Homo-oligomer: A and B are copies of this chain.
Amino acid sequence: SVADKGVVSDWITLNVGGKHFTTSRYTLLVKEPLSMLARMFADDNNVYLMNPSAKDKTGAYLIDRSPEYFEPILNYLRHGEVILDKCVNPRGVLEEAAFYGIDSMLPQLRQLIEESTSQSGRSQSLT
C-alpha cells in the first residue's frame, strides 16, 4: 500500500453513529469497488443510501450504524486482513460488513463466529 503514491486521494470523515472516522476516498473505493460503501463515495456520484447533503455540522458524512463494529471493517479496507480483538463479538462485525456490502469479509467472519460458538459449546459440555 506504500505504492499508492500516484493516486490523488481525498480525505473523508465519516460520522458513524456519532463517532468520527477519518480515511481516504481511495481506501473506501479500492478494496471492494462494487460494495455499497464504495458506491457511496464513487466519483460518478452513484449515491445510494447517503444523500450528499447528509453531513453533520463538521462536514462529516452521516451513517446510521454501529461505530464500534465499523472499525475492523475500515482496517480491512486499509490492509486486507480481518483482525478482531478478543472481546469483540464477530457477529457484530458480520452485521456491518453485510450492511456495507463488503462481501469478501463474510466467509472469514462466519468462520470466526463458528469457532467462538463451538468453543462455548465445548466448554459447556465439560460439565
Contact = CB atoms under 8 A, between A and B. Distances in A.
Interface of A: 1-2, 5, 9, 11, 13, 15, 17-24, 26-27, 36, 48-49, 54, 56-58, 62, 64-66, 68-69, 71, 74-75, 78-79, 81, 83-89, 91-92, 95, 99, 119, 122-124, 127
B87 A22 contact: no
Contacts of A66: 71, 74-75, 78
The copy count of this chain in the complex is 5
A11 B54 contact: yes
Contacts of A122: 127
B11 A22 contact: no
Contacts of A22: 15, 17-18, 56, 62, 64
A2 B92 contact: no
A95 B68 contact: no
Contacts of A95: 75, 79, 81, 83
Given A79-B99, A81-B95, A85-B88, 19 more contacts: A2-B48, A2-B99, A5-B49, A11-B54, A11-B62, A17-B21, A17-B23, A18-B19, A18-B20, A65-B78, A66-B71, A66-B74, A66-B75, A75-B92, A75-B95, A83-B91, A83-B92, A83-B95, A87-B87
